[in-house]
Structure 1
Amino acid sequence: MLVALTAGLVPAFVFAPGPLATNMSSSESVDQRHLIDLLSASFVDYWNSGEQSLTPDLKQVVDYWRCFHVVKALIAATLLAVLIALGVLLWKAFVRARGLTAGRGVPLATASTVVTALSMVSLAAVMANIQGALAPLSSLLTMLPQHPPHGALADTLGQVRQHLADYPNADGRTPPAVEVIVSDFSRYHVVIAVAALTVAVVITGLSVLSWRMSSRTEASDRRTRRIFRCFGLLSALASLTFAVLAVANVSTATEPAPALLGYFRGGW
């Protein structure tokens, strides 16, 4: 059942968010090229409006993108739960199957490892889509054409770069749109920092638990002790990785303008 759920959720993660987001946001159905065209045109109009509030066209695109990421986050979270349950069953089966030959034990260990790796991928997908759902404008900005723009979009991006280079303007001449995108970009990194820190704390707890379980396991049960120690070591390394990710995003969140300027200059 868990394998069947995994097989169904993976394509759902790819194909379901677009149609569901269209229904949730009352938007017209769009493909990626159409979405980029809508974003480019609506972003130019928003910049030229001189207002802080998003224009109706840009708001519609942002609402669609928020719903898109909400759907993807829910599917990814469901997939993560399924993979965790499947991984636990597989590792338990591997530990208990002491009498299996190498020809049968290796595939079981391989399957357990693959499912564990897929769980980490699903966790990353959950985090990324929560980030996109809570800061959809910044997520959308990554879709602005990366090739040299032309026309109104080129003029708009040039003005954005100029104001970001001077941000914050001491004369109080910073356009409202710049304040909005800087604030959203800061929130974009705060979200992932909080998520990464939370995951780091949870994984640290799992690492401690694994080492304790290893020490409580009988010395004669070498396979179980070895598995717990591997989990403890890998969990510690993963926790450190997420902690570094949290610190890096906190740094960007406190000074978002330089990083945002770097994106508009062609980086991210």
Structure 2
Amino acid sequence: MTAASHRTGRAAPSRSATLHGRALAALGTAAAALVAAFVVVPGPLAASGPGEGFGREGELAEALRTAFVAYWSSGERAFPPDLDGLVGYWFRYHVTKAVIAALLLIVLVGIGALVRKAFLRADGLGAGKGLALASAGVLATLLALLSLAAVMANVQGAVAPFASLLPMLPTGATGATGATGATDGELGAALAQVRERLAVAPGAGDHAPGALDVMIGDFALYHEAMAVIAATVAVVLVVMSVLSWKRFRGTEPAERRARRTLGSFGALAALSALFVIVVAVANTTTAAAPRPALLAFFEGGW
């Protein structure tokens, strides 16, 4: 009976280690597939909707420059068909990226949890095993933070796709360097008019073009979206940090590995929360006064 129990005691950890290894392998494969999908899938999937697809970012930027000149010249608020197709494409592109990045974040959190459990059980497995697990945990955490940033940025781009397209315009005082779909003169003149209109105080002079109102509104929405997203993420990170420090205080001093893990995670979550709070405040400030910020953008200062 004792011998059987002894055999069972030896077998259980082995089965647990095997299951952990298989789970890590499966999650690692899923993470690699999602990273590849994040790069390859969004463009073709976004092109499956109305409008055309774009094989290169340069093609998208060229089409945007031509469509933007036509939009600005129209004086209308509504997007012309070409620009409407571009905005729709860019919306679908960001939605696809946000979904893939969110799935990758979930997988990386799962990997981090499994690595953490293995690390805490690795006291008797040697310094090399512990160092390898610690390195894997750090890598999974950093990749999870990058995935979180990708989710935030792509949700922001999906909320305000028109504003998200604007950085593809050759802004700045020099005008339209590199434009080919619309002539340099046409695009340069349109951008100069945008800067001129933005420099005029609201309510002064004649009525602003409808396109300018749309740009200002979407630019404000773009930053409002990030302010809300960043504030939400900051709350989650603060809660995670507080819970981690509570567990840290409740862990016996002799459990040094567990305390180091909890303390490190609590500190990282707190620092990340501070950074995200700064992002939220900066975007809130811009959303409250979008016109000067948009002018600075078109002058190449943002």
TM range (shorter): over 0.9
Structure 2 equivalent of residue 14 of structure 1? 39
Structure 1 equivalent of residue 179 of structure 2? none
Deviations 1:216-258 (CA, angstroms, capped at 9, x unpaired): 1122111101211111111111111111110110000000111
Deviation at 1:194, TM superposition (A): 0.5
Matched residue type, 2:198: L
Deviation at 1:151, TM superposition (A): 1.2
> Which of 67, 74, 83 does residue 49 from structure 1 map onto?
74
Does residue 200 in structure 1 map to residue 201 in structure 2? no
Q: Are the counterparts in 1 of residues 122 and 129 from structure 2 also a CA contact under 8 Å?
A: no
Matched residue type, 2:296: G
Deviation at 1:95, TM superposition (A): 1.1
Structure 2 equivalent of residue 216 of structure 1? 250
Identity between Structure 1 and Structure 2 (%): 49
My pick for the range that moved more, 22-31 or 201-210, is: 22-31
The 5-angstrom pairing of residues 140-159 of structure 1 reads 140-145=165-170, 148-149=175-176, 150-159=184-193
SS in 1 for 2:47: helix
Structure 2 equivalent of residue 238 of structure 1? 272
> Which of 123, 147, 151 does residue 126 from structure 1 map onto?
151
Partners of 1:194 and 1:164 lie apart in 2 by 26
> Which of 53, 59, 63 does residue 88 from structure 2 map onto?
63
Does the C-alpha gap of structure 1 residues 118 and 8 become closer, same or farther in structure 2, counting only changes over 3 Å? same
Q: Are the counterparts in 2 of residues 167 and 174 from structure 1 also a CA contact under 8 Å?
A: no
Does the C-alpha gap of structure 1 residues 143 and 137 become closer, same or farther in structure 2, counting only changes over 3 Å? same
Partners of 1:25 and 1:231 lie apart in 2 by 45
The 5-angstrom pairing of residues 31-42 of structure 1 reads 31-42=56-67
Structure 2 unmatched runs, 5+? 1-25, 177-183
> Which of 234, 254, 258 does residue 288 from structure 2 map onto?
254
Deviation at 1:26, TM superposition (A): 4.1
Q: Are the counterparts in 1 of residues 51 and 86 from structure 2 also a CA contact under 8 Å?
A: no
Q: Are the counterparts in 2 of residues 36 and 145 from structure 1 also a CA contact under 8 Å?
A: no
Q: Are the counterparts in 2 of residues 138 and 184 from structure 1 also a CA contact under 8 Å?
A: yes
Q: Are the counterparts in 2 of residues 52 and 177 from structure 1 also a CA contact under 8 Å?
A: yes
Partners of 1:2 and 1:37 lie apart in 2 by 39
> Which of 68, 79, 83 does residue 104 from structure 2 map onto?
79
SS in 2 for 1:25: coil
Partners of 1:19 and 1:41 lie apart in 2 by 22
In terms of Rg, which structure is larger?
A: 2
Partners of 1:238 and 1:70 lie apart in 2 by 24
Partners of 1:28 and 1:91 lie apart in 2 by 43
Does residue 177 in structure 1 map to residue 211 in structure 2? yes
Partners of 2:158 and 2:220 lie apart in 1 by 14
Structure 1 unmatched runs, 5+? none
Partners of 2:280 and 2:220 lie apart in 1 by 13
Q: Are the counterparts in 2 of residues 25 and 67 from structure 1 also a CA contact under 8 Å?
A: no
Partners of 1:224 and 1:172 lie apart in 2 by 67
